[in-house]
Amino acid sequence: MPTLRLLLLMAGLTGLFIAIGQLMGGHNGMLMALMLAAGMNFWAWWNSDQAVLSLYNALEVGPQQAPELYGIVQELARRGNMPMPRVYIIDDPSPNAFATGRDPEHAAVAATTGILNILNREELAGVMAHELAHVQHRDILIGTITATLAGAITMLANLAGLFSSGRSADGENAGRSWIVEIMLLVLAPLAAMMIQMAVSRSREYGADAGGAQLCGNPLWLASALHKLEIGSQRIPLSGAEENPATAHLFIVSPLSGSLMAGLFSTHPPMEERIARLQRMAHSR
């Protein structure tokens, strides 16, 4: 996805945030929402990595604690001429991994104990290469800010609906249009989730391609994705359901296979991801 489209998508999230503020409090509400959106973007810029890592109780490791994982990341970073990211392990049997941080100089990669247990060295290299490709493409900053604003829009819309209902019950806002109610309670959160999904899905394809090039063999990542899809469906990631705005950061969706999770999946179809990698391998 071109950079301009990404900027437009993020501007759309900020615009939705401001629009809800205007519906809640008129001009003053709009200004407050604008300031809040700016503050949240600034906070996400500086604290995104530690915030996400803390949610999943990630533990930083070095070459002594996790020699294979650390060595793989170190070699891939050297091959990609990148700064060495911090390496974390999440104690969870669900196989998954993600990258976070505001730029390549302040990046971190995290892997669950589950992924370390089911992948061989080549497959693990493919997964870590995928995450480092996200770092190279600066997807991690865009994804974190988008998720932060999307979550805030949903929360603000729900608060607006409660606020409106309370005022209507007191007779202070009996004339509020039901169309506005639908916009607040349904359309705004839905639009926020769709924009977040659009940002994430396109970036997954790019990270797959970049990761395949970085590790040197697209089939390593293709094999890993096949195992991860099966493993993550069998064992959902603890805490992911409580923090759905972080789902797009993971290499495969950490959410359960519910209807809503399918409707608002932040990841492209796994069959298509694997097929693209297989085509890359056959065209070499």
Q: For 250-262, what is each residue's pLDDT tens digit? A: 999 898 765 445 5
Of 9 and 31, the structure prediction assigns the larger pLDDT to 31
Decide if pLDDT at 55 tops 90.
no
State the angle between helix axes of 188-215 and 121-136 in degrees (0 to 180), rounded to the nearest 10: 120
Domain ranges of the chain: 3-282
pLDDT top residue among 124 and 52: 124
Question: What average pLDDT does range 4-32 have in this prediction?
Answer: 72
Q: Whole-number mean pLDDT of the chain?
A: 81
Distance CA 10, CA 145 (A): 8
Q: What is the pLDDT of residue 222?
A: 98
* CA 36/CA 17 separation, integer angstroms: 9
pLDDT at residue 172 in the model: 47
Of 131, 172, 204, 271, the catalytic one is 131
Better-scored residue on pLDDT, 62 or 138: 62
Q: Please, which pLDDT band fits residue 208 given cuts at 50, 70 and 90?
A: very high
Residue from 114, 127, 151 nearest 235 by CA: 114
What CA–CA distance (Å, rounded) separates 117 from 93? Answer: 8
Q: Quote the distance between the C-alpha of residue 274 and its chain's center.
A: 20
Ranking 177-181, 222-226, 242-246 by mean pLDDT, the lowest is 177-181
Backbone angles phi, psi at 254, to 5 degrees: -85, 0
Beta strands 97-101 and 86-90 are unpaired
Please say if the pLDDT value at position 46 is more than 80: no
Catalogue the E-assigned strands of 80-226: 86-90, 97-101, 107-112
Question: What is d(CA 197, CA 245) in angstroms, rounded to the nearest whole number?
Answer: 10
What span, in angstroms and rounded, lies between the C-alpha atoms of 257 and 194?
A: 18
Token pair in block for residue 274? 């694997």
Beta bridge partners of 86: 108
Dist CA 201 CA 136 (whole Å): 17
State both tokens at 142. Answer: 């865009």
pLDDT band at 174 (very low <50, low <70, confident <90, very high): very low
Please state, in angstroms and rounded to a whole number, the distance separating the CA atoms of residues 140 and 102.
7
| For range 20-41, the mean pLDDT | 74
Give the predicted TM-score (pTM) of the model.
0.79
**What is the predicted pLDDT for the residue at 191?**
67
Q: Is the dihedral of CA 22, 25, 31, 34 positive or negative?
A: negative
Question: How far is it, in rounded angstroms, from Cα 97 to Cα 73?
Answer: 13
pLDDT band at 20 (very low <50, low <70, confident <90, very high): confident
Region 58-85: mean pLDDT is 97
Q: What are phi and psi of 138, to 5 degrees?
A: 60, 30
Number of neighbouring beta carbons within 10 Å of residue 275: 12
pLDDT tens by residue, 129-156:
999 999 998 887 776 666 666 666 767 6
> Among 5-19, 186-200, 218-232, which range has the highest average pLDDT?
218-232
Q: Check if 131 is active-site.
A: yes
**Helical packing angle, 218-234 and 270-282, nearest 10°:** 160
